[in-house]
Amino acid sequence: MTREQLVAHLRTLGLDEARELALSATLTKETWMGPFASGAVPPQGQAVPARSGVGPLPRIALSGLLPTSAPTPGPAGVGASAAHAEAPADLEVIGLLGEGGMGRVHLARQRSLGREVAVKTLKGDVADARAVAMLREEATTMGRLEHPNVVPVHAVGRDDAGRLVLVMKRVDGVSWHDLLRDPDHPRWQVLAPGAEDRLELHLDVLAQVANALHFAHSRGVVHRDVKPENVLLGEHGEVYLADWGIATAIGGDGSTAIVGTPTYMAPEMVMGDPSKIDARTDVFLLGATLHEVLTGAPPHAGETVHMVLLAAYDPAPLEYAPAVPRELCAIARQAMAKDPADRFPSALAFRRALDERRRRAGALALIRSARALLTELEERVGEPSETEKTFDTRLVECRFAFVQALRHWPESEDARTGLDAVLRLAVRNELERENVAAARSLLAELSVADRELADAVLDLEATLGARQRDVERLRALAADEDLRIGLRARMLVLGVIIAVGAVISYYFSFGPGAAAGIPSHSDIIGIAGIFVLVVGGAGALLRRHLLANAAGRRAAVLLACALLGLLSHRVIGAAHGVPTQAILAMDFVIMALVTGAASLVVPRVAWAAPIPLLGAGLTVLYPDSVAFVFSAVSVVGVFAVALLWLGGARSGDPPS
């Protein structure tokens, strides 16, 4: 049926504009009994044929405050009789429990059993054949459905005035609709003392309603008017699906009447095709009731009945607030699919979906607590008061909660998206700490690749790689300038120089050389040659250690320059006939210059530079003792250089 055809169909039912406006205030909220439809119900004044297998109605004696009205029509021979009138009334009407558009429900006391019961009768102004047939059909239907979630029917009959009477169990409770509309209703303190338990109570009620519907469907009955107003909650938590007045057989009763509550109707209920009414119609109504539980309002709305029915025929996509659990949204959407083939196949399947969701209550609790902690962590990122250790601990707790929720509920989209959010937060946290390995490991756990974070990890890897290369270059440079490398070998060479110098000093001061007086040119050239050979030999043996880094190579070059410089200077001086005293004095100057140059490698060595200059002065003051002065000062100077070099290397003095 197209939308245009539906509009035409509604017009045939008498839905002109004026009629719509008159009805819009009530029929969108109350059960529509199909007053505009032509159907199988006999017109007023005609007898209602007895249902197959259902006998004549018995007399039910009433006394008390029941309003008087004209006798309702019924089968021939049914009514008051003198014999019946003489019997005492078993039911005493006490008061009115409630009333709807067509009937009233009275509270009565059953004397024979000493109990209170509910007595349903028709209002006098609507007690026509159609209303009587519907009430009797409701009684027959409820009588066939002996189920814990269906209000038990004790009897159906006619009172002494000929009125149809339905006697049911008195449910001392509250309408589910009243609880949904009033969060401060006193019954909440009994049914769900904790505010966090209310959603679970609603789902439990809905599951029991689904149980009743599944049982009814197994008996070939479709309710067609499932909504919170027709669900009663007993004093001890009992759940009853009531008001079976428009229930029909699966496949319909042949009537084209549009019956039900428009704001909850399934699309096929608007089409007026009874063959399309089956168990999945009630599944839609279960979904509509769940929708009201989740949103606080039924799914269809409009300013007129016409608009509401059009909305029911072509329902808009269902939208839910982010705070509504996604699993319940999915259940409601599937139950309210426009095509019955896309809905849950039965009320039992709907209930099982609720049960599956409720079995995951532990996972849902973990998800809620983890979500709250995640929000707190996201708000505190970067706060100075949030210590690294505390933040990490909470991050681990949050991640663990989502992981545990997924263990119990692997299909949970909320848990998966929450875990991904925690992982992204953890990745950003590790990126801030430049822990690229941890960031990459966490990134790999995301269920959906995050290109932005992946690029950030790559950028950090590149940055850290460049920094590492810089560090390695600095380390190599530091190693090249490390005076500790080859230190023992250098100290050994300097020790050789000191030892040879001490021997020569002794030779010219106290040994055979002392008698000769001032050394000759050949003596000083020979001494320089000895130093070159001895130190050169030691250097050749220790070259791997002496030349291990740049600092060692510079020290070796300085020492080689000093020794070769002294030898060259003495050879040249002797060739020009320069006196030995002058040559040795200038040797001290050369040694002072070399010591000063050595301070570029070890700054502390600069303190030894004045010693050779002092020796040069002593050669001028004591020319006859030049051999002793030169030997003694040289030994002292080299020893001082060795001590200063050793101290500088151990203290890590940088090169100047």
Task: Work out the pLDDT band at 613, boundaries 50, 70, 90.
Answer: confident
Greater confidence, 200 or 299? Answer: 299
Greater confidence, 460 or 631? Answer: 460
| Mean pLDDT in residue range 60-80 | 50
| Mean pLDDT in residue range 312-329 | 90
Residue that the structure tokens 């002496």 belong to:
546
Query: Is the model's pLDDT at 403 over the cut of 90?
Result: yes
C-alpha separations of 199 from 188, 205, 302, 593 in Å: 12, 10, 27, 94
Task: Work out the pLDDT band at 41, boundaries 50, 70, 90.
Answer: very low
| Same fold for the pair 1-30+172-359 and 54-170 | no
Tell me: the pLDDT tens digits for 94-132?
Answer: 999 888 777 889 999 998 899 999 999 888 766 678 788
CA distance 357 to 336: 18
Closest to 487 (Cα-Cα) out of 602, 610, 365, 341: 602
The answer to whether 343 and 284 have CB atoms below 8 angstroms apart is yes
CA distance 531 to 505: 13
CA distance 551 to 60: 121
CA distance 504 to 527: 8
Strands (E), 524-606: none
Closest to 121 (Cα-Cα) out of 145, 138, 144, 109: 138
Least confident of 33-37, 208-212, 610-614: 33-37
Q: Is residue 294 helix, strand or coil?
A: helix
pLDDT at 421: 93
pLDDT at 621: 86
The answer to whether 28 and 309 have CB atoms below 8 angstroms apart is no
Residue that the structure tokens 């001890």 belong to:
236
Strand ranges of the sheet holding 115-122, from the earlier edge strand across to the other edge: 62-64, 91-99, 103-110, 115-122, 164-169, 153-158
The answer to whether 484 and 548 have CB atoms below 8 angstroms apart is no
CA distance 116 to 135: 21
What dihedral angle (degrees, nearest 10) is formed by the CA atoms of 642, 645, 650, 653? 170
Domain coordinates in residue numbering, the chain = 1-30+172-359, 54-170, 361-478, 482-651
Query: Is the model's pLDDT at 9 over the cut of 90?
Result: no
Strand pairing report for 221-222 and 248-249: antiparallel
| DSSP code for 263 | T
Radius of gyration of the chain (CA): 54
Least confident of 314-328, 393-407, 558-572, 603-617: 603-617
DSSP calls for 449-477: --HHHHHHHHHHHHHHHHHHHHHHHHHHH
pLDDT at 77: 41
pLDDT at 14: 56
Q: How far apart are the first and last CA of the chain?
A: 97
Greater confidence, 541 or 193? Answer: 541
Two tokens, residue 92: 């005493």
Query: Is the model's pLDDT at 24 over the cut of 50?
Result: no
Query: Is the model's pLDDT at 573 over the cut of 70?
Result: yes
Strand ranges of the sheet holding 239-241, from the earlier edge strand across to the other edge: 173-175, 231-234, 239-241
Of the chain, the percentage scoring pLDDT greater than 70 comes to: 81
Query: Is the model's pLDDT at 82 over the cut of 80?
Result: no
Q: Is the dihedral of CA 621, 627, 628, 629 positive or negative?
A: positive
What dihedral angle (degrees, nearest 10) is formed by the CA atoms of 63, 69, 75, 80? 40
The answer to whether 133 and 41 have CB atoms below 8 angstroms apart is yes
CA distance 62 to 161: 10
CA distance 570 to 513: 19
Query: Is the model's pLDDT at 477 over the cut of 90?
Result: no
CA distance 205 to 230: 12
Tell me the pTM: 0.56
CA distance 234 to 572: 127
> Residue 195 burial (CB < 10 Å; 0-12/13-18/19+)?
exposed
pLDDT at 191: 85
CA distance 243 to 247: 9
C-alpha separations of 564 from 215, 560, 567, 572 in Å: 115, 6, 5, 12
CATH superfamily assigned to domain 54-170: Phosphorylase Kinase; domain 1 (3.30.200.20)
Strand pairing report for 62-64 and 91-99: parallel
Two tokens, residue 574: 């002797």
| Mean pLDDT in residue range 332-359 | 94
Query: Is the model's pLDDT at 75 over the cut of 70?
Result: no
Task: Work out the pLDDT band at 349, boundaries 50, 70, 90.
Answer: very high
| Mean pLDDT in residue range 476-487 | 83
pLDDT at 494: 81
Q: CA angle at residue 534 from 536 to 513, to 5 degrees?
A: 145
The answer to whether 71 and 128 have CB atoms below 8 angstroms apart is no
CATH number of 1-30+172-359: 1.10.510.10
Residues 6+ apart with CB under 8 A from 25: none
DSSP calls for 302-318: -SSHHHHHHHHHSPPPP
CA distance 631 to 615: 10
